[in-house]
Structure 1
Amino acid sequence: MKIDPNSRADLSAQIAKAIRDAIVAGKLIVGDRLPSEAELAEQFSVSRPTVREALKRLAAQSLIRTQRGATGGAFVNHLSYDEAHSQQITTSTLLLSMNAISFDVACEARYALERACAPLAAQRRTQAHLQILRDEIATQSTANLSDEAFCASDVTFHRALVDAAVNPVLSYQLAGAVEAMQPLMNMITFSARSRVTIIALHRRIADALEQQDSAGTDDALAALEIYTKTLARDVMSVRAPHASENRSNAILKMR
């Protein structure tokens, strides 16, 4: 493992990357004990605080765990899908919010990924998955349900659809699509959407999955995508004149 002392990149980040690359390459495997801070400092020709910062970065990514005592130290961690799940959501949320991804692009990606799960979900769904879908439809039909609660139920419904594919890799990959993109899309469309329409589409999805109808599930998701995009365009077309008017008023106030 090596770093470039002449690189502009932070030394602790370089060390963390070198160790992470060694783990990914299989040179360090689950349970392996990393060299001590002093040994790593000597190996990379840096100070121990720099090494300590690198280890903190790796621990934050759940790649290593620390253990105290005579047999303690830093060890390569067993990274589970559950642990990686939240990181995927956080990363996806930050990417979407920081890079000005258009609504249509996010919507297209989210539904393309979700529809890819439809055939497996229709084939493998269990009664437990179906029960979650039905429970969320019941929740969404509750009178006086807040927008926040409806959006949360919406996310749970689609999470269950993805999980019905019974493929942990797909569930992990789609964590960002469902639990990062969906809330952001809800924020734009919640004020204009018809709960009755969404519930009807959700019921179509649940019915198709129960009948193990892959094509029916896909058709319902496609209809939901079209409805979501139409809503967003309607909302944005209404907002655009107001935004222009607000900018004009702001300019007048500056004069």
Structure 2
Amino acid sequence: MKIDPDSPADLSAQIANAIREAIVDGELRVDERLPSEAELSEQFGVSRPTVREALKRLGAQSLIRTQRGASGGAFVNKLTYSEAYGQQITTSTLLLSMNAVSFPTACEARYALERACALLSAGRRTPDHLAIMRAEAHKQSQPGLSDEAFCASDVAFHRALVDAAGNPVLSYQLAGAVEAMQPLMNMITFTARSREKIVALHSGIVDALEAQDADTVDGLLEDLATYTNELAQSVFEERSKAHKSNSQFGA
């Protein structure tokens, strides 16, 4: 494991990257104890606080864990999909907000990824997946449901659809699409959407999954994507009209 002391990059970041690469390459194995802070400090030619900061970075990424006591130290962690899931959502949310991704682009990615699950989900869905999706569709039909609760139910519905594919890698990859993009879309479109239409599409998706009809699931997801884009366009048009009206009034 090496770093470049002449590089402008932060030394603690370089150390964290070097250790991360050693873990990925298999040089450091799961549950293996890392060298002590003093040993790492000597190895990399840096101060112990710099090493400590590097270890904090790795801990924040769930790549290592620390234990206290005589047999303690820093150990290579076994990263689980559930731990990585949350990181994927956070990263996707930041990526969308910081890079000002257009609504059509986010919508295209969101539904293209989910439609990729249609065939697997239709073949592998379990009674539990169907029960969750039907329960969420029923919840969405309740007249007293708040917009926040509807959004949360919408996310739960689509997460169950993705999880029905029975592939943890797909569930991880789509975490950002479902739990970062979907709330964004709901936030923009909730004033214009017809809950009845969304519930009808969701109910149709569950029925098609139960019948293991992947083509119908795919078609309904495409319909949902088209409707979502239409809603966003109408919202943006109304905002533009309101802005022009306010500008004229102010003038």
TM-score relative to the length of structure 2: 0.97
Counterpart Cα distance in 1 of 2:249 and 2:169: 51
Q: Where do residues 76-95 of structure 1 align in structure 2 (5 Å cutoff)?
A: 76-95=76-95
Q: Where do residues 95-134 of structure 1 align in structure 2 (5 Å cutoff)?
A: 95-134=95-134
Q: 1:109-160: per-residue Cα shift (whole Å, max 9, x none)?
A: 0100000000000000000000000100111011210000000000000000
Counterpart Cα distance in 1 of 2:97 and 2:8: 27
Is 1:36 the counterpart of 2:36? The answer is yes
Amino acid in structure 1 at the alignment position of 2:168: P
Q: What displacement does 1:241 show?
A: 3.0
Counterpart Cα distance in 2 of 1:85 and 1:246: 43
Is 1:51 the counterpart of 2:51? The answer is yes
3-state DSSP class of the match of 2:74? strand
Q: 1:12-66: per-residue Cα shift (whole Å, max 9, x none)?
A: 1111011011111111110111000000011111000000000000000000000
Q: What displacement does 1:243 show?
A: 3.3
Amino acid in structure 2 at the alignment position of 1:239: R
Amino acid in structure 1 at the alignment position of 2:54: A
Amino acid in structure 2 at the alignment position of 1:60: A
Other-structure match for 1:140: 140
Quote the RMSD (CA, aligned, Å): 1.3
Q: Which runs of 5+ in 1 are unaligned?
A: none
Counterpart Cα distance in 1 of 2:6 and 2:249: 51
Counterpart Cα distance in 1 of 2:97 and 2:117: 25
Counterpart Cα distance in 2 of 1:214 and 1:88: 27
Other-structure match for 1:173: 173
Other-structure match for 2:206: 206
Counterpart Cα distance in 2 of 1:163 and 1:4: 43
Other-structure match for 1:161: 161
Other-structure match for 1:64: 64
Counterpart Cα distance in 2 of 1:21 and 1:105: 33
Q: What displacement does 1:80 show?
A: 0.3
Counterpart Cα distance in 1 of 2:60 and 2:249: 46
Indicate how the Cα distance of structure 1 residues 244 and 38 shifts in structure 2: closer, same or farther if over 3 A, else same.
farther
Counterpart Cα distance in 2 of 1:147 and 1:42: 56
3-state DSSP class of the match of 1:137? helix
Q: 1:85-127: per-residue Cα shift (whole Å, max 9, x none)?
A: 0000000000000001000000000100000000000000000
TM-score relative to the length of structure 1: 0.96
Q: Which runs of 5+ in 2 are unaligned?
A: none
Counterpart Cα distance in 1 of 2:140 and 2:36: 54
Amino acid in structure 1 at the alignment position of 2:117: C
Amino acid in structure 1 at the alignment position of 2:225: E
Counterpart Cα distance in 2 of 1:49 and 1:246: 55
Q: 1:145-188: per-residue Cα shift (whole Å, max 9, x none)?
A: 00000000000000000000000000000000000000011110
Counterpart Cα distance in 1 of 2:213 and 2:168: 22
Q: What displacement does 1:8 show?
A: 1.3
4+ runs of 1 displaced by more than 2 Å?
241-250
3-state DSSP class of the match of 1:66? strand
How many residues align? The count is: 251
Indicate how the Cα distance of structure 1 residues 248 and 44 shifts in structure 2: closer, same or farther if over 3 A, else same.
farther
Other-structure match for 1:22: 22
